[in-house]
Amino acid sequence: ERLTSGIYINKDPEDVTGKVEYALDLVIAADPLEKYLRQKGLQKRYDQETGAWLDALVAEGELSREQADLLLTTEAAVRNVIDVDDFPKDGSAEKK
């Protein structure tokens, strides 16, 4: 916050400039849950979808539904930032 004091910060997850700030806020909020899962040795299998893994943790009582939703939303927001240059797998890009 010291670096951005007095600067307009957009946190709209659909906006190019806002998606990074939106994801950062979620990552910070989810950090204690990520630490908890690491400490408990609870890791998602490489062949398992995140949603299914989190559903299993909720069913086992390791996480609440709200905690699982936060982790899922965080993963989606981070992916949205990473996929900034996402193109079709066939290598083609739509020309405008």
Backbone angles phi, psi at 27, to 5 degrees: -60, -40
pLDDT in tens, 59-87: 999 999 999 999 999 999 999 888 866 66
Residue 30 token pair: 């989810």
Q: So what's the pLDDT on residue 35?
A: 97
Q: So what's the pLDDT on residue 71?
A: 98
Instruction: Provide the 3-class DSSP secondary structure of residue 63.
Output: coil
Residue 79 CA, chain-centre distance (Å), reads: 6
Separation CA 4–CA 25 (nearest Å):
14
Q: So what's the pLDDT on residue 13?
A: 84
Separation CA 16–CA 83 (nearest Å):
11
Report domain extents, the chain.
Answer: 19-84
Separation CA 40–CA 37 (nearest Å):
5
